[in-house]
Structure 1
Amino acid sequence: MINKELENDYPIMEEIMLKGIIDTHCHMDDPCFADRLDQMLEEQQEAGVVAIMNSGSELPSSLRSCEMAEKYDMVYASVGIYPNETASLPEDYIETLRGYAKRKKVVAIGEIGMDYGYEEHPDPAIQEKCFREQLVLAEELDLPVVIHNREADEDTLRILKDYHVRGAIHRIFSPIAYAREFIKMGIYMGFGPQITYPGSDGLVQLARECPKELILLETDAPFLPNYGMEMPATPDMIAKVAETISEIRGDMTPQEVVDTARENAARLYHIAC
């Protein structure tokens, strides 16, 4: 559902079946999917989803992501330490991550980054140390990064400029001025269900401006369903995200948005589909 408060001239679009969807950021290892994961993934394929990238956020979820990728053809993995999990890491965590990152179908380091959005967030110095160590690992292994950045744009930009990495911003929180700076660096933008919510004017503007070759589609499932829908979010909700971006931009059909994002994901993450 497009934000009609902002964009009153968009036509109402009927629900359509889109094919070839890649969800470049989700957490299908979440306990809410545990009892029916096989069935859920089958349903996603029937709904047009051809691949998902399951993201680690600490060591246990990174390992689960590796195991899922090895078990299911449609699943790929990223491994990393989310900034709010950086306060109590074992000293050898980077060696553990290095081992995970070398496993089959691990295509990125992430989600990693900086987050000042919570009142009791880990010390920024600790977050930065962990972020930098994982960026070094990404450089070493020639893997792209999945970046989590919330209310930390200046520090995230400053740190990224010290490394030669490619990657994507996941679940975009950045004001448009900062998002433009990431785009100048060639960083991909991961658009998700938040763009379907009222009040998403910054994301609407970013969707208009973002170069086609830097558009990715994601859900962050199960955490953020489309506007008006109940939890849990699932990868097939990307269809509405693609429709919304199509309406905003006016230069691509929903299927072309999906196709473009799939090609971009394949190029960035070397996902075969």
Structure 2
Amino acid sequence: MADDGGKGQSGIPEQSLHQGLVCSCCGSRLQPSKANGSAGVKFAAAGLAVPEAAGTMFIDPHAHMISRTTDDYQAMARAGVVAVIEPSFWLGQPRTNIGSYLDYLSTILGFEKFRAGQFGIRHYCCVGLNPKEANNQALAEAVLDALPGFAVKEGVVALGELGYDEQSAQEDKCLRAQIDLAIELDLPIMIHTPHRDKHRGTMRTMDVLAEHRFDPGRCVIDHNTEETVREVLDRGFFAAFSIYPHTKMGNERMTEIVRVYGPERIIVDSACDWGVSDPLAVPKTAALMAQRGIAGPDIRKVSYENALAVYGLSGAMQATDWTDPSPIDQSTLFLGNSVLRGGQAPRIETTRRSMSDIRIS
């Protein structure tokens, strides 16, 4: 086993697990806080306290968990993450045939849901043809033909990630086809905004949604930055922000955005994937907001309520999924597979779990 330099799976030195979470934006250590006049509650991930009004229940509404490890699920559960949403994603290299796409969608809808549940986290999906692969016309057409069958499966809360990458005519065609499908199936949409020429791509995406008369209150525009947030909110969309270490959006900047714009229709997510990213980005950002004096109810909105509000419109996601959960039984199998390896004792609960240590005030 490779030496990890004394770091846990999240990349946080074990020493800092007892001294406070490390900010993924600036590298500073986040210490226990008594913001807003509250004594705070224990933040299980790293001994960090956040105000009681902020709660310790979080949703990460954009997490590519197929890329992550079981250690990540365990850390997220300890930090109070009760649900994740996994959007359809690029694998890191081009898919070469429709079969690989179908197997991928089946995996995130099947085994990944099972795997998350083995650690007490509810797992949902967005399905779609991602914009990067829309430019392979033959593959794109095959995926669009198959997509309706996946979009109606259990646990699908939206179509996504949809949008632009190179902002090509082929991407535009595929985006419009999937908007029409979302309207037909009465599903919300999650939008990926392009990494290059982000402002133009974001404005163009919202214009296309308007042309199709898609309700902005049913659409999340993700990967926002300071250059896009004002117009996204002004046009009535949910504005999501991916908290990446040293890029896209850091939790220091995110805190200031909430301070300036308020919490309405703003969503914090990790977008954790196979690259340098942080599955604890949502609880860490909430903790920093508490330390910087953001009101508890506002933290609750951006790290829990707003995601539930928009993705709950699908009818496939409701709070009782995690506030009234079934017992965990790690002796169960998925198509003969277990999350455990030989000799590992399964976690088996004989009664329904108590959620008293996870609360929203």
TM interval, shorter chain, is 0.7 to 0.9
1:243/1:195 CA distance change after superposition, 3 Å: farther
> 1:26 aligns to what?
63
Which residue type is aligned with residue 156 of structure 1?
T
User: How many residues were matched structurally?
Assistant: 247
Is structure 2 residue 230 aligned with structure 1 residue 180? yes
Tell me what 1:104 maps to. Answer: 154
Equivalent pair of 1:2/1:244 in contact (CA under 8 Å): no
**CA 1:195–1:156 in 2, change beyond 3 Å: closer, same or farther?**
farther
Q: How does 1:253-272 map to 2 (within 5 A)?
A: 253=296, 257-258=299-300, 260-270=302-312, 271-272=317-318
Distance 1:146 1:27 in 2: 14
Aligned to 2:48: 16
Partner residue of 1:155 out of 204, 213, 237? 204
Task: For residue 98 of structure 1, report the CA deviation from its aligned partner.
Answer: 1.0
Greater share of helix:
1
TM-superposition CA deviations, 1:203-259 (whole Å, max 9, x none): 5653333342312121011356xxxxxx4522x3311122334456x4413x75145
Paired with 2:253 and 2:56, the residues of 1 have a C-alpha distance of 28
Residues 92-148 of structure 1, C-alpha deviations (whole Å, 9 max, x = no match): 3223111111000100100010124xxxxxx61011111111111111111111110
Instruction: Please report how far the alpha carbon of residue 70 of structure 1 lies from its aligned counterpart in structure 2 after TM superposition.
Output: 4.8
CA 142–209 in structure 1, closer or farther in 2 if over 3 Å, else same: farther
Counterpart among 60, 65, 69 of residue 108 in structure 2: 65
Distance in 2 (alpha carbons) for counterparts of 1:149 and 1:170 = 6
Q: Does 1:86 align with 2:134?
A: yes
AA of the residue aligned to 2:135: A
Pairing partner for 2:172 from 128, 135, 141: 128
Please give the alpha-carbon distance, in whole angstroms, between the structure 1 residues aligned to 2:248 and 2:140. 41
Decide whether aligned partners of structure 1 residues 199 and 190 sit closer, same or farther in structure 2, where only a CA change above 3 A counts: closer
Q: State which drifts further: 191-200 or 203-212.
A: 191-200
Query: Contact between 2:263 and 2:298, CA under 8 Å: does it hold in 1?
Result: no
Q: Say if 1:240 and 1:196 are closer, same or farther in 2 by CA, change over 3 A.
A: farther
Encode CA deviations 1:72-101: one digit per residue, 9 max, x unaligned: 441011101221111222423223111111
Larger radius of gyration: 2
TM-score (norm 1): 0.76
Alignment of 1:34-49 (within 5 A): 37=70, 40-49=72-81
TM norm structure 2? 0.59
Contact 1:69 1:105 in 2 (8 A): no
Distance 1:247 1:101 in 2: 40
Q: Could you say if the C-alpha distance between residues 261 and 47 of structure 1 is closer, same or farther in structure 2, counting changes exceeding 3 Å?
A: closer
Call closer, same or farther: CA 1:260–1:153 in 2, change over 3 Å: closer
Using a 3 Å threshold, how does the CA distance of structure 1 residues 247 and 148 change in structure 2: closer, same or farther?
farther
Percent identity reads: 24
1:221 corresponds to which of 272, 296, 309: 272
Distance change (3 Å), C-alpha of 1:167 and 1:195: farther
Counterpart-to-counterpart distance in 1, 2:246 and 2:140 = 39
Establish whether residue 77 from structure 1 lines up as the match of residue 125 from structure 2: yes
Secondary structure, aligned partner of 2:211:
coil
Gaps of 5+ in 1: 5-10, 117-122, 225-230
Residue 16 of structure 1 and its aligned partner are, at CA, apart by 1.9
Q: Secondary structure at the residue paired with 2:162?
A: strand
Answer yes or no: is the 8 Å Cα contact 1:112–1:146 preserved in 2.
yes
> 1:168·1:188 contact (CA, 8 Å) conserved in 2?
yes
1:3 Cα shift?
A: 6.4
**CA, structure 1 residues 206+223, in 2 after alignment: closer, same or farther (shift >3 Å)?**
farther
Counterpart position of 2:184 = 140
CA distance in 2, matches of 1:256, 1:22: 14
